[in-house]
Amino acid sequence: MELAHCTSFSLSSSPKFFNPRKLHSSNFTRISPHFSSISTGYHLFSRTKRSMVKSRETSAEVADTAVIDKPSETQRFEISEGYPAPFGATPVDGGVNFAIFSGHSVSATLCLITLSDLQQNKITEEISLDPLINKTGDIWHVFLKGDFENMLYGYKFEGSFSPEEGHYYDPSLIILDPYAKAVISRGNYGELGPEDSCWPQMAGMIPSPKDEFDWQGDLPLKLPQSELIIYEMHVRGFTMHESSRIKCPGTYLGMIEKLDHLKELGINCIELMPCHEFNELEYYSYNSAMGDYKMNFWGYSTINYFSPMIRYASSGISNCGRDAINEFKLLVREAHKRGIEVIMDVVFNHTAEGNQKGPILSFRGIDNSVFYMLAPKGEFYNYSGCGNTFNCNHPIVRQFIVDCLRYWVTEMHVDGFRFDLASILTRGSSLWNSINVYGSATEGDLLTTGTPLSSPPLLDMISNDPVLGRVKLVAEAWDCGGLYQVGGFPHWGIWSEWNGKYRDMVRLFIKGTDGFAGAFAECLCGSPNLYKEGGRRPWHSINFVCAHDGFTLADLVTYNEKHNLANGENNMDGENHNNSWNCGQEGEFASISVKRLRRRQMRNFFLCLMVSQGVPMIYMGDEYGHTKGGNNNSYCHDNYINYFQWDKKEAAASDFFRFCRLMTKFRRESESLGLSQFPTSERLQWHGHVPGRPDWSETSRFVAFTLRDLVKGEIYIAFNTSHLPVTVTLPDRPGYRWELLVDTSKPAPFDFMSDDVPERETATKQFQHFLDANLYPMLSYSSVIMLLKPDMDQNA
């Protein structure tokens, strides 16, 4: 999520995107007979009033006495007290142990639901938990033996419904276990639930000891981070377009069919946009601007952090979600076979429950005051810009997050995580107390809720965890409360960052803005101004020009202004300051000369990304020039705007895609373009229009440098972002000559002079006389790469 796309205030009013259409209670008839500890066939929303529980409707206290029976045998299950650990539903000793934290509830009921009953909005069986037998501390637990085939589960909790105190207990609602390994509701993406509900009842899959997957010996690739080329992508968007021509479009299986495209491009790490369970119908409403319905396409609104997105699986809810889990595992296994690591984009900064007007799905109905940052009167802090803020540094919450991350590494074999709005993970929790966190008071401990911490307990736990401390950890080092930590995120020597400053500086310099030559040079070196002093390395900088949030690469050179009318918000959403340049005309319909300049600029940006120290990240579709028509906030479109268009990729196969493919190959082959240390003067020399005389003045639009490379020899790279051409003098190397490899001003295939370029010698002769004089003419807005080769004529 992009900082500038969020609302900058701390207390929540209404969530940015939440559409309270057809919430739970409005979709079901309520009936109110009392039930004993074991009951079957009740409607999902039958209400029972218990002792001293405030009613939602009246906030009055009622005096009905709860009926709590001792656990016993039912027709289906043998019941015993169970164990308080581990959390979730766990197959053990021939049965299943259920354990869940809920610190402020007064009673808990385990609800068992068959898949068929779920679709009819019925509970199959209810088991009330005895607080004397089935509770240890704040953990409810029970152990069952019986037949769990096609059985799902959830909970009902009773307690105070008093938002002013931070509590939202409602015993009429079935609550999801945060530790559920698969969440079952609708089976097909975009399909409405019963009675056209956008929020049909959900339940968790009950694991079985028979659940298994053949990993075929899969092991972590453990690629050095300095060698990564990351590809940010969307599972559904990657293959949903009709031109993908695959069997299972928009799914994990469909993505597997297209992994070879990534291999061809030179990608060795994919960063999956959110694949945790979310509700794509969260924003569901008719969009007159497009004539379709708005969807939560991006998925930055998590319901459950353990479950993969079920509707990204071709199998949907079959086998209670187990097949969907195996499809995700298959994707990881097949990516690893191709030498591609898998990083997940995780959203631990907020959840889909929004603010006080949002639905009660899971965390809020279990213990709202623990899982969310709250003000003294129960208001939701909104550092996420989406209605609530996950209370990450609370002991219960941080343990939950660590458990979740470990599960995805050990069980699902993912290789790392990118943390959305990660600065929220550094903020002090609600009711911050140093004794609670560190075990003793600290001097000057006057921290309030949300205060940034220099040593956040959650990040400390993750960084020093024997499992998580060995995987890739990437922070989006800002949030929507104004906290911006790029270059200063607490890192323990292992956290890298999305380098938003790299994006901004590179955009400004390449479009020809004065005053950024020095800042651009820092970016080329891996941003030592941000990372060197803190003891970090170039690979701690994740370099990107474009990402899901903002313009695509093609739109960056086509539009000066955002064009978001398709979002149905009167072009009021999205970032207004994009540092873009349309090259002289706004929009896709432009003169031939403008279109040529745009293609040149796209090559300039991509070349810059590939020759910069640090880790390059490419956004899906940029390799063929995907356009969203100037839409820089396409969060709500399940259509061509966000779909990878395979026919366009094929059309660019010999043009821009070829250029990108060869540039990634050049980076991988060059020892000097993925350094583990920042370059020094022994390896790198700066130049201007003449060698050894760089121009760092405010009006400079020229940056050039040479790199000593143990594989390529010596490399000369230059950027001319002026509107004027220039003839540069190349460094003199007696006994050697400079050979042109890349010139972004030339049309394909002469933009990259690979050995297989037809008539390569003829093309080279056109500028050889310049090179013979140690000169080279550079057009405006162009970049070049040259390699130093032995001068065979001089040595003859």
Catalytic center residues:
420, 476
Computed on alpha carbons and rounded to an integer, the radius of gyration of the chain in Å comes to 29
**Which of left, alpha, beta for 214 (phi over 0: left; psi -120 to 50: alpha)?**
beta
Give 259-263 contacts, CB < 8 A, sequence gap 24+.
259/334, 259/335, 259/338, 259/340, 260/338, 261/649, 262/231, 262/338, 262/340, 263/338, 263/339, 263/340
Peptide bond into 749 cis (omega under 30): yes
Rounded to the nearest angstrom, the gap between the alpha carbon of residue 69 and the centroid of all alpha carbons in its chain is 46
Q: In Å, what is the CA distance from 307 to each residue of 45, 178, 312?
A: 24, 9, 11
Closest CA to 651 of 741, 581, 557, 748: 748
Closest CA to 677 of 481, 516, 528: 528
Rounded to the nearest angstrom, the gap between the alpha carbon of residue 501 and the centroid of all alpha carbons in its chain is 19
Residue type at 345?
D
User: What gap in Å lies between CA 786 and CA 781, rounded to an integer?
Assistant: 17
Which distant-in-sequence residues (6+ apart) come within 8 Å of 500 by Cβ?
3, 477, 478, 486
DSSP per position, 258-277: THHHHHHHT--EEEES--EE
- What's 113's DSSP letter? E
Pairing label, strands 615-619, 230-233: parallel
Q: % helix / strand / coil in the chain, to the nearest 5? A: 25, 20, 55
Task: Give, to the nearest 10 degrees, the angle between helix 395-410 and helix 457-464.
Answer: 30
The pair of structure tokens assigned to 373 is: 């940052």
10 Å CB burial of residue 755 (0-12, 13-18, 19+) is: exposed
User: What gap in Å lies between CA 403 and CA 407, rounded to an integer?
Assistant: 6
The pair of structure tokens assigned to 573 is: 């959403």
User: What gap in Å lies between CA 104 and CA 100, rounded to an integer?
Assistant: 12
User: What gap in Å lies between CA 553 and CA 562, rounded to an integer?
Assistant: 13
The pair of structure tokens assigned to 680 is: 């020094």
User: What gap in Å lies between CA 31 and CA 482, rounded to an integer?
Assistant: 47
Which distant-in-sequence residues (6+ apart) come within 8 Å of 379 by Cβ?
11, 12, 356
Within 576-717, residue ranges assigned H as helices are 592-611, 646-651, 656-669
- The number of residues making up the chain comes to 796
The pair of structure tokens assigned to 481 is: 């409360």
Which distant-in-sequence residues (6+ apart) come within 8 Å of 570 by Cβ?
none
